[in-house]
Amino acid sequence: MLRGSPERELAAWWEAEAVAATKAQAAKEQVRVDPGAAGEPERKAGEEQPKEPAPAPPCAAEEGDARIPPRPPPTLPVSLAKPEPASGLCPHGKSRIKGRSCKRSSGQPDEYCSLRPVTVDSSKARTSLDALKISIRQLKWKEFPFGRRLPCDIYWHGVSFHDNDIFSGQVNKFPGMTEMVRKITLSRAVRIMQNLFPEEYNFYPRSWILPDEFQLFVAQVRMVKDGDPSWKPTFIVKPDSGCQGDGIYLIKDPSDIRLSGTLQSRPAVVQEYICKPLLIDKLKFDIRLYVLLKSLEPLEIYIAKDGLSRFCTEPYQEPNPKNLHHIFMHLTNYSLNVHSGNFVHSDSTSTGSKRTFSSILYRLSSKGVDIKKIWSDIISLVIKTVIALTPELKVFYQSDIPAGRPGPTCFQILGFDILLMKNLKPILLEVNANPSMRIEHEQELSPGVFENVPSLVDEEVKVAVIRDTLRLMDPLKKKRESQSQLLGKSLASKENPPHSDLASASQGNANPDAHLPSICLKQVFPKYAKQFNYLRLVDRMANLFIRFLGIKGTMKLGPTGFRTFIRSCKLSSSSLSMAAVDILYIDITRRWNSMTMDQRDSGMCLQAFVEAFFYLAQRKFKMLPLHEQVASLIDLCEYHLSLLDEKRLVCGRSGTSSGSRLQPSGTPQEAAPPAPPAEGRPQPCTDGAHKVSHSRHTLS
């Protein structure tokens, strides 16, 4: 349940948008599908199948590939030393002063000239290239398939932020996202939130990290079994670096974990297996939903109205020792099931082994299921998951694009894999930083002869997602809109007839989207910020952490930074000496560094800082629930820091040199970040929402 019962509000909105789309699409499908098909068994699986299994598609780096390309050294590009302005662009992709880059149309003032098309560098798009090309064509933008010497407005990367060295414009990847959504990192991030808000985060199966938590896993399972001997759980083991179902297996008992050899070298997550999924045509399926993270700060999240449903190819049975290894029964991965003789490629979006999510919703609604509730729960799951991921993403961001250095702004399409339980509760399986955007699949035309054929289901969903992401990120949108307003005024004053050539030509220019369908991505945050802001405690901790990081580009807090944090926030006392603070720092940092095996920098990572913060909060505010302890400590820290900022501002204004004396108490000595803006003394925080932002960066 969402706080303040916003479910109705969410549902009402979604009903008007997504549900209408669902019905429209389903109505379209009815033309092709037997009208009585809803609720009836689908065409028998196995018909129209290739005799031999199709070869595996190449393990696309875009889809769940955990291989992280090496980070290039942070060198300054040649173009920075000698900026080379693009036509219509300043060196960093900013639009030139109006009029300069525009050609005059005959006899008309500057405002009427055409805007240049948005430029997109698609040279690193990899397997998303086909869908991207179609999108660019539909938008009438300009593609640079081999890159461009001059800056582009948008860079489309297939894998990572680091695919290209970019210093301006917008790029479709955030630094650190690939790392953040790896199975272990995601589990850790969600677990922090589960500790703070157990009920709000019960959409993620209970998970343990191997090998570190193997003993804990054994002990916890034994404890529950001792209390309830009838409990017969199943667990799923997933290698951290795996993708597309690779290396996944089911177990009934912790002793079944394949510890020998590989586990140490191949860390994994072991997770409660959801035994009672919702079935359609007796088959298990999952949902791939596309989510656009448009900006980190302010947080902006959009969800696509339609997604994909990927089906298993063997009728589902609850796990038992005999069927545990039946991957076509338990794993919904397309890359696995496409090898099954039962896989059904279909030209329809509502039949076959891959369908649109809207066709599933339509089918459910025709059986009386409350699909508004399903959507509302899914929106809530998505927002909460992104809230769990953003704190560390901010740390990555300030490390890769330090404040004051040139850099692009970022956005990213994420693939959320969601399972619906029999009781319709959505469960988060994983998040993909590089969801596959392929719009074709391999088909065996005759034995041994394969061809890539277009996949209508993929094309329908994925092209809309990419095209509408581009529309939302359009850097010239505002300019175009203001141009159209100017033109409107000008025409009105000249009393031009409304249907003159000039008016219609300019309208076409002002609204080049007129020929396109309505945008398939719907904003859910900040739209529902009020209902979810109370969850953003770790985000506020990350702001504190970043403030005390000091050295530009680092992601770990040194001992001086930690001490300065304690001093500035006045957290030491007679019962917490600075010596005890040092020991706390060393203990937690050492443990986290041995667990994460991240030897890039020494020092305290954000998650270790969060653990230390929890410890300090518990000491200071005994008796309260953990989230209240933590919120109270954050309020206190923010309060003391705002006082410091005020003082610094006053000293700065009065021109005294005492500002420099304040420096060591507010920021670590190794490098002092610029003073954050003082925003006044915060009121005691009642709802946990941000009262003061100490972030030094504007992240997008």
Query: Given the complex with ligand ADP, which of 2 and 419 has the nearer CB atom?
Result: 419
Among 130, 417, 474, 635, binds ligand ADP (CB under 6 A): 417
Q: How far apart are CA 172 and CA 388, in angstroms?
A: 20
Among 25, 123, 309, 332, binds ligand ADP (CB under 6 A): 332
Closest CA to 179 of 16, 475, 392: 392
Strand-pair category, 142-144 with 119-124 = parallel
Helix, strand, coil: what percent of the chain each, to 5?
40, 15, 45
Beta-bridged to residue 453, according to DSSP, are 441
Least distance in Å: CB of 377 to ligand ADP? 17
Which part of the chain contacts ligand ADP (CB under 6 A), choosing from 215-223, 267-275, 448-456, 537-545? 267-275
Grouping H, G, I as helix, E, B as strand and the rest as coil, residue 328 is helix
Among 244, 295, 313, 358, binds ligand ADP (CB under 6 A): 244
Number of residues that bind ligand ADP (CB under 6 A): 21
- Of residues 59-78, those binding ligand ADP (CB under 6 A): 64
Q: Which residue's structure tokens are 């448009």? A: 294
Which part of the chain contacts ligand ADP (CB under 6 A), choosing from 258-266, 325-333, 408-416, 522-530? 325-333
Tell me if 224 sits within 8 A of 307, measured CB to CB: no
Query: Given the complex with ligand ADP, which of 248 and 472 has the nearer CB atom?
Result: 248
Phi-psi region of 99 (alpha: psi -120 to 50; beta: other; left: phi over 0): left
Strand-pair category, 354-356 with 308-311 = antiparallel
Q: How far apart are CA 527 and CA 10, in angstroms?
A: 10
Q: CB count, 10 Å around CB of 557?
A: 29
Least distance in Å: CB of 473 to ligand ADP? 27
Query: Given the complex with ligand ADP, which of 89 and 414 has the nearer CB atom?
Result: 414
**Does residue 645 bind ligand ADP (CB under 6 A)?**
no
Q: How far apart are CA 535 and CA 540, in angstroms?
A: 10
**Does residue 308 bind ligand ADP (CB under 6 A)?**
no
Query: Given the complex with ligand ADP, which of 129 and 419 has the nearer CB atom?
Result: 419
- Residue 515 per-residue DSSP state: G
Least distance in Å: CB of 69 to ligand ADP? 19
Residue 107 is which amino acid?
A: G
Q: Which residue's structure tokens are 């927002």? A: 383
Which part of the chain contacts ligand ADP (CB under 6 A), choosing from 329-337, 524-532, 607-615, 678-686? 329-337
List helix spans (H) across 177-253. 177-180, 183-196, 214-227
Least distance in Å: CB of 694 to ligand ADP? 36
Tokens of 110: 């500057």
Closest CA to 418 of 431, 408, 435, 409: 431
Which part of the chain contacts ligand ADP (CB under 6 A), choosing from 134-142, 240-248, 390-398, 514-522? 240-248
Least distance in Å: CB of 428 to ligand ADP? 9
Q: What are the residues whose beta carbons fall under 8 Å from the beta carbon of 241, sequence distance 6 or more? A: 66, 67, 182, 266, 267
Query: Given the complex with ligand ADP, which of 206 and 647 has the nearer CB atom?
Result: 206
Least distance in Å: CB of 59 to ligand ADP? 10
- Residue 682 per-residue DSSP state: P
Which part of the chain contacts ligand ADP (CB under 6 A), choosing from 124-132, 239-247, 297-305, 665-673? 239-247
Handedness of CA 417, 421, 424, 426 (dihedral sign): negative
In angstroms, the first-to-last Cα distance of the chain is: 30
Closest CA to 545 of 357, 398, 440: 398
Which part of the chain contacts ligand ADP (CB under 6 A), choosing from 134-142, 245-253, 458-466, 676-684? 245-253
Query: Given the complex with ligand ADP, which of 6 and 435 has the nearer CB atom?
Result: 435
Least distance in Å: CB of 65 to ligand ADP? 9
Among 331, 364, 395, 605, binds ligand ADP (CB under 6 A): 331
**Does residue 154 bind ligand ADP (CB under 6 A)?**
no
Which part of the chain contacts ligand ADP (CB under 6 A), choosing from 236-244, 378-386, 611-619, 678-686? 236-244
Tell me if 88 sits within 8 A of 117, measured CB to CB: no
Query: Given the complex with ligand ADP, which of 148 and 206 has the nearer CB atom?
Result: 206
Q: How far apart are CA 226 and CA 228, in angstroms?
A: 6
Q: What are the residues whose beta carbons fall under 8 Å from the beta carbon of 370, sequence distance 6 or more? A: 424
Least distance in Å: CB of 394 to ligand ADP? 25
**Does residue 314 bind ligand ADP (CB under 6 A)?**
no
**Does residue 271 bind ligand ADP (CB under 6 A)?**
yes
Q: How far apart are CA 406 and CA 442, in angstroms?
A: 42
Q: Dmax of the chain from CA atoms?
A: 87
Tell me if 608 sits within 8 A of 592, measured CB to CB: yes
Least distance in Å: CB of 442 to ligand ADP? 19
Among 182, 238, 363, 696, binds ligand ADP (CB under 6 A): 238
- Of residues 424-443, those binding ligand ADP (CB under 6 A): 429-430
**Does residue 286 bind ligand ADP (CB under 6 A)?**
yes
Among 54, 115, 218, 274, binds ligand ADP (CB under 6 A): 274
Q: What residue ranges bind ligand ADP (CB under 6 A)?
A: 64, 205, 236, 238, 242-246, 248, 271, 273-274, 286, 331-333, 417, 419, 429-430
